[in-house]
Structure 1
């Protein structure tokens, strides 16, 4: 930490010196709840879709377009929300997107045609996609360094839990209020939570320092991390553990910052890994229940199994990151690597039914979910605070190409048992892509550590 006589506080070192506290827990819980309701709103369609198909009689092709609409909205929303998060701050963007998700998810329940579903799911997807990069950034910038990646995985565990919660909501509400009630209930719950955020969600201290916000805004936030902090000794604030970035609000200049130094290779590898992982997870999200039905599992049992694997995958992701946080991103490849043989057992027809099929599907989907959660955890950690949301947003944007394509491409797998088996084989190919990308990323990420050490060494004399 900088000496008081210099009147400059190294906020990077200050935050790293803090032990995990109640305030860290406060931020972590709020961020996890943000993604919980985000995931609940997002996955409402997956569990409502079998009922919608029966009610509207839509074709397999139209089913693909309906499922892809939210992904397309997320893709655009991820760029817009991340850019706004770096310009105006994490807090206002997260709150605005949460309110938008609540409103438009509720309105989806009033759709009367497939075309209306497509439009409304696209609009709700803008809000759902817009908040993820800012909430990742808020968590990474607030947690101790040893918990940055793990905190993102815990937060996305909230998304998985929220996605899974749509399963019991569908099973309980659809028989009473129809598929429309699933969206009404999910939207109302998110709306109530958005009001809580107005009073409890803080801003990122690192972002305020990186963007040179007034001292009067920064000091109270530092005091929340350490109530004994003596603010009067410092007039200026710095971040020695981050390189300086362009202060321009020009989105093109912010985009260029994602390719400086070792990031020239690391960033594309993050995008590729996230792309393959998203194709696998969103194919499961969109059609997992239908695939399991086609394999002979009853609809409600398939919904419960889908929900359970979402929860177990999220927990598995946290366990995986706890093991790999200090060992590098290469260890993330373990989950998709182990998932490949289980997925192929179903795809090749070696497991056809009964308890054995349920067990294999449970293991496969859990490992796919754990790997996806771990991949997400690293999408923002390598970037400076001034462009961290932009980095996460662009990774999300690239991944959403897979998310949009998965339901459209996956519609060809909706016909019977053989179609479902082909869907699992394609998932196995996506898992191979994740393994390759993560192993390459682990190698090239070493250059980023060297750059961080160099930046810290240059800042040291100023202390």
Structure 2
């Protein structure tokens, strides 16, 4: 049976054939040839909710921070550990979960991750002091960091090739939506029930979702083929996509079998055909988060120092994270054109806008325009990166590849915050600070072009 389910060595495999006379069914051809089914929309919905809750719980600590200061009588610097704990947990969770998902399966790791951040977030609502809340926020981040790449990988492996980037990017839009919903819910809940109610809601929802996932979420069909699992399991999953499958008993995939040289997800990601692309993905995502966190954390203060009224500076800064829905359009372009170049253009244009922010602070109208356009381009590019990584790696290393990019990239957020603090300490003006941040966008664009060049050489 294992040999029947093995991957194709050269990629020249027969197309998917329905019915009992099929010698072998190519699972990706089968997904490509049939309409996107209710079963696949169910997978999309469950993964979208995972990402939405990820956004809610990641942002929750920021919404309750003022209440913590008041109730526990702390100063702003006292909040630094609890605000950063989840960020370190996100990085650690992603780095650990990717190889586990490639070894143990996407569904198991995703379900455990959702359960972990649900339990940790619920428990944190009862934290009696800052020390325990900080530790629980790290555990919450651990689960959140593990869940995101597993959801991206599972979703991408049930998508037809011609719609993969569009659907994966649409799923990833759940993150900013969850963060935004968290703000509205916090504003309503905290005055009535206190800050603990926000964490309690953010914990109970993923616990309920974890139960639903155990019952309704399938394992990745591509993962099952790669691992040589019983044909009956693969047939059961594909039959829910289309009943035309019949009683096919052998399944293959049209991607190069590299398991002879790479026994784990990590060894795939670090193997010679993929190492250059891997490093370029890490660098790109890192630089994107340098820009994102630098502007989210510092732009209100920088604009205020440049002479804007505090309220105006806050409102202008709030325009920056609004453009994440542009990722759906970017996904559509990625499915039709060269994905590396599409995202590289977004990063390059982001750099232009970031530079312009530092030059037009005297004109509020122009400032609002470049902040909004820059935010749309930045969030679009960054939200499209998981889909790009998922398409780059083969099944044996996909979860590790996506997870390591997300995990290592998190350190860019830490670096961005410290970078602006150091530049301000050295008395750089607002024009100089934004000019330096713009360089990160150019580096991200260049890294994707290097990845494209290396990818082209490997396919020749």
**Structure 2 contact 316–368 (Cα < 8 Å) conserved:** no
Distance 1:438 1:129, change over 3 A: same
2:325 corresponds to = 315
Selected match of 1:346 from 321, 341, 357: 357
Aligned to 2:49: 33
Structure 1 residue matching 2:254: 3-state secondary structure: coil
Could you tell me whether the CA contact under 8 Å between 2:189 and 2:197 is conserved in 1?
A: yes
Partners of 1:324 and 1:387 lie apart in 2 by: 21
The equivalent residue for 2:456 is 446
Q: CA contact under 8 A between 2:286 and 2:410: conserved in structure 1?
A: yes
Tell me the equivalent position of 2:74.
57
Superposed, 1:332-371 pairs within 5 Å as 332-348=343-359, 350-352=360-362, 357-371=367-381
TM-score (norm 1): 0.84
In the alignment, is the contact (CA less than 8 A) between 1:258 and 1:267 conserved in 2?
yes
Give 1:143 shift.
0.3
User: Secondary structure of 1:203's partner?
Assistant: coil
RMSD: 3.2
Equivalent position of 2:259 in the other structure: 245
- Take 1:286 and 1:374, find their aligned partners in 2: how far apart are those partners? 22
Question: Which one is further off, 202-211 or 157-166?
Answer: 157-166
Aligned residue for 1:136? 152
Cα distance in structure 2, aligned partners of 1:5 and 1:412: 68
- Which piece of structure 1 moves more, 364-373 or 420-429? 420-429
Q: Are 1:379 and 2:393 counterparts?
A: no
Tell me the residue number matched to 1:457.
none
Q: Which range moved further: 216-225 or 372-381? A: 372-381
Correspondence for 1:277: 288
In the alignment, is the contact (CA less than 8 A) between 2:169 and 2:328 conserved in 1? yes
The TM-score normalised by the length of structure 2 is 0.84
Distance 1:48 1:168, change over 3 A: same
8 Å CA contact 1:69, 1:404 repeated in 2: no
The alignment covers a number of residue pairs equal to 439
Structure 2 partner of 1:151: 167
Corresponding position of 2:82: 66
**Residue pair 2:55, 2:177 contacting (<8 A) in 1 also:** yes
Specify whether residues 171 and 9 from structure 1 end up closer, same or farther in structure 2 by C-alpha distance, changes over 3 A only.
same
Shift of 1:354: 5.1
| Cα offsets for 1:366-396 (capped at 9, x unmatched) | 2211111122321221111122111112212
Determine the C-alpha separation between the residues in 1 that align with 2:64 and 2:296.
12
Structure 1 unaligned spans of 5+ = 451-463
2:5 maps to: none
Residue in structure 2 matched with residue 461 of structure 1 by the alignment: none
The correspondence of residues 219-258 of structure 1 with structure 2, limited to 5 A, is 219-231=235-247, 234-246=248-260, 253-258=264-269
CA distance in 1, matches of 2:206, 2:133: 20
Measured in 2, the distance between the counterparts of 1:246 and 1:132 equals: 29
Distance 1:365 1:413, change over 3 A: farther
Q: What is residue 108 of structure 2 aligned with on the other side?
A: 92
**Residue range with higher mean Cα deviation, 36-45 or 180-189:** 180-189
**Distance in structure 2 (CA, Å) of the matches to 1:239 and 1:265:** 25
| 1:13 partnered with 2:29 | yes
Q: Deviation of residue 54 (structure 1)?
A: 5.5
- How far does the alpha carbon of each residue in 1:112-145 deviate from its partner, in whole angstroms, 9 at most, with x for none? 5443333221111110001122111111110001
SS of structure 1 residue aligned to 2:244: coil
Residues 292 and 319 of structure 1: CA distance in aligned 2, closer, same or farther (over 3 Å)? farther
Q: Deviation at 1:222?
A: 1.1
Distance in 1 between residues matched to 2:304 and 2:218, nearest whole Å: 44
Cα–Cα, structure 1 residues 418 and 165, in superposed 2: closer, same or farther, change >3 Å? farther
* Cross-structure match for 2:3: none
Query: What do the CA deviations read for 1:303-347 (whole angstroms, capped 9, x no partner)?
Result: 8974x654x422111112212323211111222222223323333
Structure 2: tracts of 5 or more residues without a match? 1-14
After superposition, the Cα gap between the structure-2 partners of 1:54 and 1:255, relative to the gap in structure 1 and judged at 3 Å, is same
CA contact (8 A) 2:287 2:444 kept: yes
Alignment of 1:45 onto 2:61: yes
Question: Shift of residue 35 of structure 1?
Answer: 0.4
CA contact (8 A) 1:32 1:158 kept: yes
Using the TM superposition, name which of 220-229 and 285-294 deviates more. Answer: 285-294
Query: Are 1:388 and 2:388 matched, yes or no?
Result: no
